[in-house]
Amino acid sequence: MLHERSRPPAHAAPPRPPAPKPRERPLGTLGLLRALRTNPLLTWTRAHYEEPFLSGSTILGDLCVVNDSAAIRHVLVDNASNYRKDALQLRLLGPGLAHGLLTADGEEWRIQRRALAPLFTPRTVARFRPAMADSAAWLVTRLRRQREGRQIDIAAEFSRVTLDVLERTIFPEGLGRDPTQFIEAVTRYFDTAGRIEPFDILGFPDWVPRPGRGRAAPALAFFAQAVEGIIENRRKSLEAGGKSLQAEHSDLLTLLMGAADPQTGRGLGESEIRANILTFIGAGHETTANALTWSIYLLATHPAWRRRAEEEVDTLAEGETAHLDPDRLPVTRAVIDEALRLYPPAASLSREAIGSDRLAGHRIRAGARVVISPWLLHRHRRLWTDPDLFDPTRFLPGNRDRIDRYAYLPFGAGPRVCIGASFALQEATIILAEVLRHVRLDAVPGHVPEPVQRVTLRPRGGMPVILRHR
């Protein structure tokens, strides 16, 4: 099998975090098509983990994989206007996110980014701490109700809690629907939208039906209706109250409805608001849930680090996380940063060159696809010491400043950097701290999770753990 199975812990040595074994040779066309559909991580060869730059002609067209800091900076920052998000990535995110911040391009993107930036300033994000702590408390209560020794799927629990955070911060009056139905629709949509179909790879036009893609349509219709209902209710309540948007509510929906480009004063239209709500859910829910899931797995398999993290969070008073600056928990933060290194939820970023260019001494033709893969970059032999080992020391204060900015890209970089990065890190720290304070989640003996890339990087089939009370 392709997976390096971790050896049983004969002595104290913790197991190696699971990852597909690099291939010795590239896959042929059929193998590549199959791997792209089932798990794109299986396509990487040893050279991808060792070389700064690889290029070639593939079924995806001219493609280069860049692991060189200066070249990455060139693509994402210095010459970013020459590199747009590529068609395959946009198609993967599906029609629901079209014209939201993640997929918009050119002037449409610029206007939205300027209008939405104030929603994610450190001050605004800090205001969401109590809501995040409430979600964390809700999760802890659910977990503590379970019988000691029970096996649970912590990936599903984190998926629920990160959606709960978005619900509390975007629409605190509730979704107006059964939350389970909403979660199912979210899961179904991103599961089907996020599958790379051979037709997409071969560049078939959009009107050619994709097998399986039809299943996303009912979920999308469900969302559109739900979100429209929520916006409509909010408008009515604001009009009836006659108060200013800001004064009445301080949630993301109100901020979105009042958002305006500071340069032109242009606000967002109804369809842009809808696309961005779905974008925040799509971009912010599974990503953060996966960061938490892998953090728990890595701590469960590295007891010395779990003890350090528990000691840190045990110093907190009850309810303190509702007002806590996450930087005050350096060990917990370092664990999350290291989990984001080993298992970056956005495992691959790709761009298409608009005009020809030069990268790391190589000529790039117009139309070539440039892949910057945080998965590869974070495990690259030239950029990290012991890249496959879990070692949060790298991110403790004093050490993290030594990390090359373009060797660590869980949130991307440049103008298209994740707008929700500090929201996500604050949320993950609060939730992880509360979970560690109240329960202990042990690895299931013999179970080795398999990382799969499907829009986000997640463990195939969830993450079973054994629950113990603390």
418 is a site residue for ligand HEM (CB under 6 A): yes
451 is a site residue for ligand HEM (CB under 6 A): no
Within a 13 Å sphere around the CA of 374, how many CA atoms are in the beta-carbon half? 24
How many residues belong to the chain? 470
410 is a site residue for ligand HEM (CB under 6 A): yes
Which of 280/305 has CB closer to ligand HEM?
A: 280
74 is a site residue for ligand HEM (CB under 6 A): no
411 is a site residue for ligand HEM (CB under 6 A): yes
Candidates 334, 424, 432, 436; binder of ligand HEM (CB under 6 A) is 424
Candidates 60, 102, 347, 383; binder of ligand HEM (CB under 6 A) is 102
132 is a site residue for ligand HEM (CB under 6 A): no
133-159 exposure pattern, b = at least 16 Cβ within 10 A, e = fewer: bbbbbbbbeebeeeeeeeebebbbbbb
Nearest-angstrom CA–CA distance, 102 and 415: 12
Nearest-angstrom CA–CA distance, 390 and 134: 30
Map the footprint of ligand HEM across residues 276-315, applying CB under 6 A.
Answer: 279-280, 283-284, 287-288, 291
Q: Which stretch binds ligand HEM (CB under 6 A): 123-131, 138-146, 210-218, 341-349?
A: 341-349
Which of 375/411 has CB closer to ligand HEM?
A: 411
Residues 155-184, one symbol each (x = binds ligand HEM by CB under 6 A, - = not), give ------------------------------
DSSP string, 137-203: HHHHHHHHTSPTT-EEEHHHHHHHHHHHHHHHHH-TT--SS-HHHHHHHHHHHHHHHT---HHHHTT
Which of 136/467 has CB closer to ligand HEM?
A: 136
Encoding tokens for residue 364? 């790039």
Nearest-angstrom CA–CA distance, 453 and 444: 22
Whether residue 241 contacts residue 248, with contact meaning beta carbons closer than 8 Å, is answered with yes
- Say how many residues touch ligand HEM, by CB under 6 A: 23
Tell the smallest beta-carbon distance from residue 284 to ligand HEM (Å).
3
Whether residue 270 contacts residue 253, with contact meaning beta carbons closer than 8 Å, is answered with no
Whether residue 92 contacts residue 277, with contact meaning beta carbons closer than 8 Å, is answered with no
Candidates 420, 449, 459, 464; binder of ligand HEM (CB under 6 A) is 420
Tell the smallest beta-carbon distance from residue 292 to ligand HEM (Å).
9
Which of 70/247 has CB closer to ligand HEM?
A: 70
Which of 95/284 has CB closer to ligand HEM?
A: 284
Which residue in 96, 77, 53 sits closest to 191, CA to CA? 96
Q: Which stretch binds ligand HEM (CB under 6 A): 151-159, 199-207, 231-239, 405-413?
A: 405-413
Candidates 42, 349, 364, 452; binder of ligand HEM (CB under 6 A) is 349
Cα of first residue to Cα of last residue in the chain, in angstroms, is 38
Whether residue 103 contacts residue 97, with contact meaning beta carbons closer than 8 Å, is answered with yes
Which of 421/448 has CB closer to ligand HEM?
A: 421
Candidates 346, 359, 368, 383; binder of ligand HEM (CB under 6 A) is 346
Tell the smallest beta-carbon distance from residue 422 to ligand HEM (Å).
9
Phi, psi of 283 (to 5 degrees): -85, -25
Spell out the SS3 assignment of 306-339.
HHHHHHHHHCCCCCHHHHCCHHHCHHHHHHHHHH
Which residue in 228, 234, 232, 240 sits closest to 252, CA to CA? 234
Binding site residues, ligand HEM, CB under 6 A: 85, 101-102, 113, 279-280, 283-284, 287-288, 291, 345-346, 349, 410-412, 416, 418-420, 423-424
